[in-house]
Amino acid sequence: MTMDHAPAVELRALSKRYGRTEALAGVDLDLAPGSFTVLLGPSGSGKSTLLRCVAGIERLSSGTIVFDGQAVAGPRQHLPAEERGLAMVFQDYALWPHLSVVDNVRFALRRLRLGKAESVARAAAMLDRVGLTGFADRYPAELSGGEQQRVALARALVAGPGLLLFDEPLSNLDADLRERLRVEIATLTRETGATALYITHDQSEAFALADRIGVLDHGHLVQVGSAEDLYRDPATPFVARFTGLAGELPGVVEHAAWSDGCRVRVEGLAIGARQGTGTSLAGGQRVRVLVRAASATIDDGTDGHPAGLPPALGSAPSAVVPAVVSDVAFRGRGYDHVVEVEGGHRLTGIFHARRIERATQVSLRIDASGCIAFPDGPAIPGARAGTGSGTGTGTGAAPGRSGATVPTRSDEPLAAARQG
């Protein structure tokens, strides 16, 4: 098939098995024409398999793939990759080593049956757009990794495909080059108006590029939405962890009276948190509070609420808790700190404009809007919903300040710093 415009792409109940291993499990996903969609997930999540199925490199075990109303893959159908009217940028560049740069780019124009002069001119113009003017006669072995990836990008774009697929194209490059090429990929792809599907394991890359992000976990598409949706309202703890956390605090729900939030006792501290999407927490329930780095700020402790006590229920909840700086790293615009709160729990990536030395005692303000509580086991015996006055004494637990029991953790580092 040929495409002279950006297609709508529909994936329905996609499954792919390799023997007994299920790489994709009933994935449904729609790509709007001209949109830029990123699939995010760790190694083994199924994102590469899904991309290769869309490309036609892999055959589906079940399900259908439709481009602009025309099925290209299904139970009894498999249109070959070269007939799907798409282009793909690979992680390892996939350049022909025996062809010059310009001939590698011209290779993508074969199906258009252009004359040599026209194909050379179009390839040269695209090389200019990706910043490789003067490189036409070189060979891939004479180029750096970033230059090779620019050639691969030029080859993908030169024929004006309606659908562009990106298979982790930046993962082999150093950090500075990744950032520059990411901007170039986003700009050039959107200039063409093509529909794009891009896979990565890098959360920051996904957030920077995508109109929409789909998160894959062991072959299941667990959430699809904007970067803001995934960050503010993760559907599962996996999504929250994979989109960036400062840390996790195990605790017990002390009060669940807010419309979408609760107060959680973590060791001897009380913090506010939002309830995870689709959860309904009750007093006495064990939870894990997943803390975004942006919700925690180092405070001088001279204002706000007393340490460990959030404001009254119903107001904008935050807590100020005692902490100790255990590590610090310079980040150019300021400093990222690792801080330790009561119980030995650590939160990382806590930003402050100035450097705070290791072992310094600080106050840490934790805003409930960036804390998400998900269930983490059964309720504590004897704890009563909404009162925070539970008296259970489960194995390995110690009473919190208002009586609810929480798992014990060593607080020796914090105590030592306090005494020091």
d(CA 35, CA 52): 19
More confident residue, 269 or 194: 194
Does residue 226 share a domain with residue 201? yes
Which residue range is the domain that position 350 belongs to?
245-419
Per-residue tokens: 210: 């995508």
249, 220 Cβ separation under 8 angstroms? no
Looking at residue 253, its pLDDT comes to 93
Looking at residue 268, its pLDDT comes to 84
| pLDDT tens profile 69-95 | 999 999 889 999 989 999 999 999 999
What's the one-letter identity of residue 13?
Answer: A
Does residue 135 share a domain with residue 218? yes
Does residue 61 share a domain with residue 17? yes
Count the domains in the chain: 2
Indicate whether 315 belongs to any domain: yes
Indicate whether 3 belongs to any domain: no
Does residue 406 share a domain with residue 294? yes
What's the one-letter identity of residue 307?
Answer: A
Indicate whether 125 belongs to any domain: yes
Residues near 248 by Cβ (< 8 Å), separated by ≥ 6?
288, 289, 290, 291, 345
| pLDDT tens profile 157-201 | 999 999 999 999 999 888 888 888 999 999 999 999 999 999 999
Tell me 144's DSSP state: -
CA proximity to 220, closest of 358, 24, 7: 24
Indicate whether 349 belongs to any domain: yes
Q: How confident is the model at residue 135 (pLDDT cuts 50, 70, 90)?
A: very high
d(CA 84, CA 70): 10
End residue of a domain, out of 237, 265, 291: 237
Indicate whether 2 belongs to any domain: no
Indicate whether 367 belongs to any domain: yes
Residues near 105 by Cβ (< 8 Å), separated by ≥ 6?
123, 126, 127, 151, 154, 155, 158
Does residue 322 share a domain with residue 219? no
Looking at residue 176, its pLDDT comes to 83
317, 368 Cβ separation under 8 angstroms? yes
Does residue 268 share a domain with residue 192? no
Looking at residue 5, its pLDDT comes to 79
Does residue 410 share a domain with residue 313? yes
Q: What percent of the chain has pLDDT over 70?
A: 84
More confident residue, 237 or 315: 237
d(CA 78, CA 59): 7
What's the one-letter identity of residue 377?
Answer: G
More confident residue, 378 or 56: 56
Detail the DSSP E strand segments found in 19-135. Answer: 21-31, 36-40, 62-67, 70-74, 77-78, 86-89
Indicate whether 320 belongs to any domain: yes
End residue of a domain, out of 237, 269, 286: 237
End residue of a domain, out of 204, 237, 270: 237
CA proximity to 242, closest of 292, 174, 170, 185: 292
Does residue 250 share a domain with residue 226? no
Looking at residue 259, its pLDDT comes to 64
SS3 206: helix
Looking at residue 42, its pLDDT comes to 96
Averaged over 339-355, what is the pLDDT? 94
Q: How confident is the model at residue 257 (pLDDT cuts 50, 70, 90)?
A: low
Tell me 15's DSSP state: E
Averaged over 13-19, what is the pLDDT? 96
Q: What percent of the chain has pLDDT over 90?
A: 71
Which of 136-140, 198-202, 299-303 shows the lowest mean pLDDT across its residues? 299-303
Does residue 307 share a domain with residue 267? yes
| Max CA distance (Å), the chain | 84
Q: Phi and psi at residue 205, in whole multiples of 5°? A: -65, -45
- The residue written with tokens 């007393």 in the block is 306
The dihedral built from the CA positions of residue 385, 286, 407 and 418, taken in this order, carries a sign that is: negative
Does residue 386 share a domain with residue 337? yes
Indicate whether 1 belongs to any domain: no
Detail the DSSP E strand segments found in 256-344. Answer: 261-266, 269-275, 285-291, 296-299, 318-330, 335-341
Q: Which contiguous run of DSSP H or E holds residue 18?
A: strand 9-18
Q: Check which CATH number belongs to the domain holding 135 and give it.
A: 3.40.50.300
Does residue 255 share a domain with residue 232? no
Does residue 232 share a domain with residue 299? no
